[in-house]
Amino acid sequence: MIITTILLIIALPLAAIIGYALRAYLGKIKLTSAESQSQRIIQDAIRDAEARRKELLLETKDQLLKEKNQFEKETRERRQELQAIERRLLQKEESLDKKLEHLEKQEKIVQLKEQENQEKEEELRREFEKHKKELERIAGMTTEEAKNLLMKNLENQVRFDSIKVINKIEEEARRTADKKAREIILAAIQRSASDYTSEATITTVSLPSDDMKGRIIGREGRNIRTLESLVGVDMIIDDTPEVVVISCFDPVRREIARLSLERLIQNGRIHPARIEEVVEKVTAELNDNMLEDGEKAAFELGIPGLSKDALYHIGKLKYRSSYGQNVLSHSKEVANLAGIMAGELGLDVMLAKRAGLLHDIGKGSMAEGEGAHAIVGAEMAKKFGETPKVTGIIAAHHNDKEHECFESVLVQAADAISASRPGARRESLDTYLKRLDNLEKIALSYKGVEKCYAIQAGREIRVIVSNELVSDEKAAVLAREIAEKIESELKYPGIVRVIVIRETRIIDYAK
C-alpha cells in the first residue's frame, strides 16, 4: 500500500513533467508551421501589392495623359476664341474710330450750316423789317391794325363756313328725322285726342223764381255779404230773370259759391249762420272731391305710388284754367302724349307720364308773384317725395332749367302740342295784338331788315331783308339770331317759325 502510495506520489510528478514536455514539444512544432505559413502569406501579399501598385500606377499615368490631352485641347480652343474676340474688338474699334471721325466732320458741317443759317436769318429779318415798313407805308396802317383786320376777315369767313356746314348737317338730319318725328307726333295726337271746353271767370245759378233773389240778398244785404265774404266772390243780382251771376277769377271759390248757393236755395233756409254752415261743409266736400279727382286721374293713366298730397294738388287743377284751358285736362293729355312718344322712342314711359301729369302742379297752389310755376311745381314735387328726375323734368318744361334727360324734352314737346292745338287756348285781343307787335319789333331791330310781317296768329314771322346788306350766309345767321331773341324775350304758346326772305330783282325796260 505504502509502496503503491509512494509510486503514485513519484508517478504523478513524472506524469506531469512528461505531459508538460510533450505539450511543449507539440506547441513548438505547431509554432514553426504557423510561422512558415505566415511568411508565405506575407510574401504573397507583398507580391500582390506590388502588382496592384504597378497596375494603379499605369492607370494613373493613362488618366493623367488623357487629362493632359483634354486640357491642351480646351486651351487651344479657348485661345482660338480669344483670338477671334480680339479680332472682332479690333474691327469694332476701327469702326468706332471711323464713325467718330465721320461725326466730327458732320459736326463741323452742322456748325458751318448753323452759322450760315443765322446769317441768312438775320438777313431775312432785315429784309422782312424793310418790306414791313414798305407795306405799312403803302397800306397806311400799322402791323397790329392789319393783323386785326385779317383776323376779323378770317372770323367772318369761318363763321360763314360754319353756317354752311350747320345748314348742311341740319338739312341732312331734317330729311331723315322729320318724317319719323311727324309720325310719332301724329300718332300720339290721334291716340290722345280730347275735347276742350273753355273756362270762364263767371258762373250762373238758376233760381226757381225771382222771389228767391230777395231771400238771397237778405235784410239790408246781410245774406249776400256773408256769402261773398266767406267765399271771396262777387255775386251779381240784376234784372236778369231767375239768374244769379257769381264772378271770381279763382275757379275753386266760384265752385264753392255755386254749390253753397244751390244748397241754400234747395233747403230754403237762408241766414248768416246757415250760410257759414253750408260753406264749411261744401268746402270740406270739395277738398275730398279734389283728392278723388287726383286719384281718378292717376288711375286712368296707370301711375302708381303718388302721395296723398300730390293727388290732392292734382285734383285741385280741375278748378284751374290757363288761357281758357282746363289745367287738369291739359296735364292728363300731356301725360298721355309724353307716354306715347316715349314708347315709340324706347324711353321710360312711366317716367314721362308721371312727369307729364305733375308738370303744371305748381299752378294750383302758386301765389301771385311767387315765381315761375315750373320751379314752384318742382319744389312741391320734391316735398311729395318725387325723384330728382321727375322734379328736374317739371322744372325744365319751360326752359327755367336745363334738360337732364330725353323724357324731359318729350314732356316739353307734349306740353307745346297740347297747348297749341286749335281751340285749346284763348287769348285776349289786347294780349294777342301786343305779342304780334313785339314779334315784328324784334325782327325790325336788326340791321338790313326792310319789312316784317307776323302771320298765322303769331306762329310765323316773315322777315324781308335787303339784298345788298344781307348775303345768303348772313340771312341764315339772322334767322337764328331772331329766333334766339324771341325765345329769350317773349312768352308764347307753341313755336314761332322765323322765315328770312332775300331775293334779287333785276329790272330792265324795252323801249
pLDDT at 433: 67
CA nearest 493: which of 437, 421, 439? Answer: 421
Residue, of 24 and 54, whose pLDDT is higher: 54
Own/partner pairs, 223-232, CB within 8 angstroms, 24+ separation: 223/270, 223/271, 223/272, 223/275, 226/272, 226/275, 226/276, 227/257, 227/260, 227/261, 227/275, 227/279, 230/275, 230/276, 230/279, 231/256, 231/257, 231/260, 231/279
Hey, what's the cell of 275? 250760410
pLDDT of residue 196: 45
CA distances from 193 to 104, 188, 334, 338, 418 (A): 91, 8, 11, 13, 9
pLDDT at 31: 67
Least confident of 88-102, 250-264, 438-452: 250-264
Question: 389 near 406, Cβ under 8 Å?
Answer: no
Task: Give the domain ranges of the chain.
Answer: 202-420, 429-501
Q: What pLDDT was estimated at residue 234?
A: 79
At the fourth CATH level, which superfamily is domain 429-501?
A: ANL, C-terminal domain (3.30.300.30)
Task: Look at the alpha carbons of 314, 320, 323, 328 in this order and tell me if their dihedral is positive or negative.
Answer: positive
Residue 232 is inside which H or E element, if any?
Answer: none
Report which of residues 360 and 133 the model is more confident about.
360
Rounded Cα distance between 264 and 208, Å, is 12
Q: What is the pLDDT of residues 217-257, one digit of tens each?
A: 778 788 888 888 888 777 777 766 777 888 776 777 888 88
Per-state percent for the chain, helix, strand, coil, to nearest 5: 70, 5, 20
Helix residue spans in 428-508 (DSSP H): 429-444, 472-489
The pLDDT-based confidence of 2 (bands split at 50, 70, 90) is: low
Question: How many CB atoms within 10 Å of residue 464?
Answer: 17
Q: What is the pLDDT averaged over residues 86-105?
A: 88
Average pLDDT score over the chain: 79
Check whether 395 has a pLDDT greater than 60. Answer: yes
What pLDDT shows up at residue 300?
87
Instruction: List the one residue out of 182, 174, 192 whose CA is nearest residue 352.
Output: 192
In the predicted structure, residue 285 carries a pLDDT above the cut 80: yes
> What average pLDDT does the segment 361-386 reach?
76
Write down the pLDDT at residue 198: 43
3-state secondary structure of 450: strand
Residue with cell 248757393: 261
Q: Residue 68 pLDDT more than 70?
A: yes
Lowest-confidence pick of 170-174, 196-200, 347-351, 363-367 = 196-200
Please answer whether residues 234 and 248 qualify as being in contact, where contact means their C-beta atoms are separated by less than 8 angstroms: yes
Q: Answer whether residue 84 shows pLDDT above 80.
A: yes
pLDDT at 197 over 50: no
Ranges 28-37, 245-254, 272-281: which has the least confidence: 28-37
Q: Which CATH class is domain 202-420?
A: mainly alpha
Range of 33-37, 418-422, 426-430, 466-470 with top mean pLDDT: 466-470
Domains 202-420 and 429-501 share a fold: no
**Confidence (pLDDT) at 12:** 64
Give the least confident one: 25-39, 79-93, 249-263, 467-481.
25-39
Lowest mean pLDDT among 47-51, 248-252, 331-335: 248-252
pLDDT at 195: 47
CB 353 within 8 A of CB 303: yes
Neighbours of 242 (CB within 10 A): 13
Three-class SS of 261-329? HHHHHHHCCCCHHHHHHHHHHHHHHHHHHHHHHHHHHHHHHCCCCCCHHHHHHHHHHHHCEECCEEHHH
Question: Averaged over 59-71, what is the pLDDT?
Answer: 88
Q: Which residues contact 248 (CB under 8 A, 6 or more apart)?
A: 201, 231, 232, 233, 234, 254, 257
Q: Is the pLDDT score of 260 beyond 70? A: yes
> Is pLDDT of 338 > 80?
yes
Report the predicted TM-score, pTM, of the whole model to 2 decimal places. Answer: 0.47
Structural element, H or E, at residue 79: helix 2-139
For the segment 306-332, the average pLDDT, to the nearest whole number, is 82
Helix (H, G, I), strand (E, B) or coil at 140: coil
